[in-house]
Structure 1
Amino acid sequence: MNTTSNKQYSSSSSLASSALQVLEARWVVPVLPQGMVLEHYSVVTSDNCILAILPQEQARAQYPSARIVDLNEHVLIPGLINLHTHAAMSLMRGFADDKPLMQWLQQHIWPAEKHFVSELFVRQGTLLGCAEMLAGGTTCFSDMYFFPQSVAEAAVQAGMRANIGLLVMELLSNYACDAEDYLQKGLQARDSWRDNELLSASLAPHAPYTVSNATFEQIITYAEQLGLNIHMHLHETRIEIEESLKQYGIRPLQRLESLGLLGPSLVAAHGVYLTEAEMTSLARHSCHIAHCPTSNLKLASGIAPVDALVKAGVNVVLGTDGAASNNRQDMFAEMRLAALLAKGASGDAESVPAAQALAMATINAAKALGQDNKLGSLEAGKYADIVAVDLSAVEIQPCYDVISHLVYSAGREHVSHVWIAGELKYQKLQGQAGIYADIEPAELKEISTEWQTRLSQYLA
């Protein structure tokens, strides 16, 4: 294989430059049009964008001076987009397993966060999460956590795209004392990275049960003035709905609609318990649902009605949630589980076919971020955020349908190359450990060891 040498790894901050290069692949799955597979095609990149997608011989003839990357047993896909996570909670992976959501939050996670969460915790935990996501083919993530400036710093170090949620809630934390404090600190952090093309921001009210009507009204005003999305948890558990009925006399979604919060800028994570009328309302307002199947199952929150949501016309995307409630930030696992759960829950084997599951992790997610003109598919003019998946491994042979293989057979361990803006940020050759462009494995090991010691002492 004609790949970058070890000497080149050490001579630059990235594994390979973003100069003119031709990625020659056995297959290219551009995602748009959905279901298309191009065989023996090349993706040509220059600077940070895709220049062209052409048959291999044509690409070689048209760009004779380009650097060739030989990927003759691989499929190229757009970078995966994780639309809901709390990356810093990688430091709490396996911290309080096998607990229902509210017990998990109130008795375990929130007390531990009060004890440990700081700028350092968030920066180091997010970097650990970025490393996991990169190695699994995720090039962009939508985060929601404390200290957004620290999230930004970690994402920039890793060279990843991030939509950073500016967390808002009424609860006192190590980060802020009240909703107004959350808002002002978040907006100040956002101002510091506004010119970085890798980063964007959303206003992130935690959930209806932690945010007042007055605060929601402020959030709507800021979102409209600044052109920001709104990213929040919604209808994750039955308890959330029951408490809303007791306190407000209406269900959470109805409350949000009455406040004017529903619209194409809203990304609602989970959406497990939705009536037919609520799904119709989400579709009418062009809202997006970030489906997190593994986390919902692990916390026994339930199974989102994805088949019905899709049929209602709601844009469904995928997220992992944090590693504390999932244990993995693995978008290949989420694609597979989302497709399987939709079939099992609906009784329809044709529900969420493989191509649709892949779209949920790519172009649908880009649409939810308002960035589908830049991300989510392999098209000339879009950012060169590209993932190569090696399909040569014996455990996933033979291969009859490439897209089906990506969703049902391949896993994150088969990711061999990850480019972001045309720069190679991660590479794993057969039989070798993965190499990051901008992250030192020794640093990750130190981070993991240090925080495991601290949290283990706390648990004891």
Structure 2
Amino acid sequence: MNEPADLLIYARWVIPVEPARAVLHHHAVAVRFGRIAAVMPSDLARRTVDAARVVELPEHALIPGLVNLHTHAAMNLLRGIADDLPLMRWLQEAIWPAENKHVSHSFVREGTLLAAVEMLRGGITTCSDMYFHPDAAAEAFDLAGMRARVGIVLIDVPTSYAADADDYLRKGFAARDHWKNHPRIGFTVAPHAPYTVSDANLRRAQTLAHELDLPLHIHIHESEGEIRNSLAAHGMRPLARLAKLGVVADNMVGVHAVHLDAQEIELLAGHGASVAHCPTSNMKLASGIAPVAQLLAAGVRVGLGTDGAASNNRLDLFQEMRHAALLAKVGSKDATAVPAHAALHMATLAGAEALGLGAEVGSIVPGKRADLCAVDLGDALMRPCFDPISHLVHVAGREHVSHVWIDGEIRVAEGVALLQISDKELLRIATVWQTKLAN
């Protein structure tokens, strides 16, 4: 008797990410109850599996859904509002004033919804978000059907969202309590950065993260100015300060990590901390080139993030894979640094593991959630194709994503997002906010 399946996907190539470098030619993935039931040769699947739904992808690569390890999703509404400025001027002169004036529950919900659609259409099935009003962000990710880890933001500075650290945490944990049993929505503890959070609150954030078994998500060493200011204010570099406070640990996801010395790389490796590398944002803000080749050589887990659309302008992990690979080569002057399979690993399994989701998503392995992305490599402009992994990183773009599944449920088909909200309504939302922000 044949094995039953809810969904059976036949692909020209299945790239499971585990084991590394594996490319399975003419294979099929069977899905049952939202999880990967089997990965097998196509001819065997045709003989032994009875599926309720069958999808044929004759010229496609089937890969795990991409994991965006760092974004500020609601900032899609601020896309392009302040280009071509260095980091601190960008924050102080443009972004923070706009946020203080406009950020609200509806701003975050609607901006996050726009971001979720953009990410889904680009093959991103999971993201780690850091922004105000986490309850509103969770609503949007839920509506879009995405998997997300939403940050419980902590900042010492009062904003339109919260008055002080206690207020940030109270509101953030209220959102977590509301969503705690949701199958796709989880949370991180997200102190913004060492330069915006006091010693006491950094300790407090890590204590809460450990007690609740949550990742700790924090910007670190993004700019040289950040390091100079830390030396002046604390007599030590930010990572040394975080280590002294007990923040550097195996649950920490350090975002950016551009300016690291050899000792700091060893510190991260020794504590099992992860890094969210955001190459496009780092280039656009002229922050520098993160030492990714050295981090990987030291055994540090490195995932990829887009950052927000205000400092990148697109939430596109295909772009980040390509930029990560190329920047690592030029930064280390080593053409072998970050080969294509390593870049794909960074965009999938490494990000999942950093969020504590490695047993659930990030690779095409039986038992894991069926978060999958199909990339069409059949166009004449994509041929010849000697190595589909190389093509995914150096040739294909998000426009080649044809299908996306989360928990085995279709979210994108033939490049079109299948949502409870129409493109017309999304355009209306974007237009309304553009008008507000322009005044």
The TM tier, using the shorter chain, reads: over 0.9
Kindly report the root-mean-square deviation, in angstroms, between the aligned alpha carbons of the 2 structures.
Answer: 1.1
Conserved? CA contact 1:425–1:438, under 8 Å: no
Alignment equivalent of 2:426, drawn from 444, 452, 456: 444
**Secondary structure, counterpart of 1:64 in structure 2:** strand
Task: Identify the residue that residue 293 of structure 1 maps to in structure 2.
Answer: 279
Partner residue of 1:116?
102
Determine the structure 1 residue equivalent to 2:408: 422
Kindly tell me the number of residue pairs found equivalent between the two proteins. Answer: 436
Q: Distance in 1 between matches of 2:145 and 2:318?
A: 21
Tell me which amino acid in the other structure corresponds to 2:437. Answer: L
Aligned to 1:13: none
Give the whole-Å Cα distance in 1 for the aligned partners of 2:303 and 2:67: 9
Instruction: Report the CA distance between 1:428 and its aligned residue.
Output: 2.0
Counterpart check, 1:454 vs 2:416: no
Q: Is residue 2:11 matched to residue 1:57?
A: no
Residue 19 of structure 1 and its aligned partner are, at CA, apart by: 6.4
Which of 378, 382, 401 is equivalent to 1:392? Answer: 378
Alpha-carbon separation, structure 1, partners of 2:191 and 2:417: 36
Q: Tell me by how many angstroms 1:59 deviates.
A: 1.0
CA distance in 2, matches of 1:243, 1:347: 30
Name the structure 2 match of 1:366. Answer: 352
Residue deviations 1:365-421, cap 9 Å, x none? Answer: 111011111010000000000000000112212111010000000000000000000
CA distance in 2, matches of 1:376, 1:319: 14
Aligned residue in 1 for 2:260 = 274
Q: In the TM superposition, what whole-angstrom CA distance separates every residue of 1:258-311 from its partner, at most 9, and x where no partner exists?
A: 001111100000000001000001000000010000000000111101111111
* 2:18 aligned to which of 1, 20, 32: 32
**Residue 173 of structure 2: aligned partner:** 187
Q: Which residue is equivalent to 1:204?
A: 190
**Given that residues 5 and 50 in structure 2 are in contact (C-alpha distance below 8 angstroms), is that contact kept between their aligned partners in structure 1?**
no
Aligned partner of 1:405 in structure 2 is 391
TM-superposed CA distance for 1:66, in Å, is 3.8
The alpha carbon displacement at 1:37 in A equals 0.3
Alpha-carbon shift at residue 339 of structure 1 (Å): 0.2
| 1:331 equivalenced with 2:317 (yes/no) | yes
Separation in 1, partners of 2:131, 2:419: 25
* Residue type at the aligned position of 1:77: I
> 1:93, 1:180 → 2: CA distance?
30
Cα deviation, residue 65, structure 1: 4.4
Deviations 1:68-116 (A, max 9, x none): 2111111100000000000000000000000000000001000000000
Shift of 1:223: 1.1
Distance in 1, matches of 2:381 and 2:110, equals: 35
Residue identity in the other structure for 1:276: A
Q: Aligned pair 1:94/2:80, yes or no?
A: yes
State the partner residue of 1:43.
29
- Match of 1:164, SS? strand
Tell me the TM-score normalized by structure 1.
0.94
Report the Cα distance in structure 2 between the residues aligned to 1:235 and 1:169, rounded to whole angstroms: 17
**2:438 is matched by which residue type in structure 1?**
S
Unaligned ranges ≥5, structure 1: 1-17
Q: Give the distance between the partners of 2:51 and 2:323, measured in 1 at CA.
A: 43
The 8 Å contact of residues 159 and 438 in structure 1, kept in 2 or not, is answered as no
Deviations 1:123-182 (A, max 9, x none): 000000001000000000000000000000000000000010110001111110001110
Retained in 2: the 8 A contact 1:131–1:439?
A: no
Q: 1:246 corresponds to which residue?
A: 232
Give the distance between the partners of 1:199 and 1:21, measured in 2 at CA.
24
In percent, how many aligned pairs have the same letter? 53
Q: Does 1:151 align with 2:133?
A: no
Match of 1:11 in 2: none
Kept in 1: contact 2:8–2:51 (CA 8 A): no
CA contact (8 A) 1:179 1:215 kept: yes
CA distance in 1, matches of 2:339, 2:198: 39
1:344 is aligned to: 330
Q: Which amino acid aligns with 2:251?
A: S
**Cα distance between partner residues in 2 of 1:418 and 1:239:** 41
Which residue does 1:319 correspond to in 2? 305
Q: CA deviation at 1:437?
A: 3.2
Rounded to whole Å, the distance in 1 between the matches of 2:77 and 2:45 is 45
Q: 2:55 aligned with 1:69, yes or no?
A: yes
In the alignment, which residue of structure 2 is the partner of 1:3? Answer: none
**CA separation in 1, counterparts of 2:75 and 2:206?**
28
**Is 2:7 aligned against 1:21?**
yes
Distance in 2 (alpha carbons) for counterparts of 1:206 and 1:391:
39
What is the DSSP-based 3-state SS (H/G/I as helix, E as strand, rest coil) of the residue aligned with 2:67? strand
Structure 1 letter corresponding to 2:165: A
1:203–1:229: 8 Å Cα contact kept in structure 2?
A: yes
- Which among 245, 248, 257 is matched to residue 262 of structure 1? 248
User: For residues 203 and 64 of structure 1, what CA distance do their matches in structure 2 show?
Assistant: 44
In the TM superposition, what is the alpha-carbon distance from 1:438 to its structure 2 partner?
3.0
- 1:184 CA drift (Å): 1.2
Q: Which amino acid aligns with 2:375?
A: V
Cα distance in 1, alignment partners of residues 75 and 417 from structure 2: 23
How far apart are residue 317 of structure 1 and its match?
0.7
Q: Distance in 2 between matches of 1:163 and 1:290?
A: 14
Q: Out of 116, 126, 129, which is 1:140 matched to?
A: 126
Q: Deviations over 1:4-38 (max 9, x none)?
A: xxxxxxxxxxxxxx961110001100000110000
Which of 51, 74, 93 pairs up with 1:107?
93
- 1:233 alignment partner in structure 2: 219
For residue 350 of structure 2, give the secondary structure of its aligned residue in structure 1.
Answer: helix
Find the aligned partners of 2:408 and 2:421 in 1 and give their Cα distance: 18
Aligned twin of 1:4: none
Write out the 4+ residue segments of structure 1 that deviate beyond 6 Å after TM superposition: none
1:362 match: secondary structure: helix
What amino acid maps onto 2:352 in structure 1? A
CA contact (8 A) 2:39 2:365 kept: yes
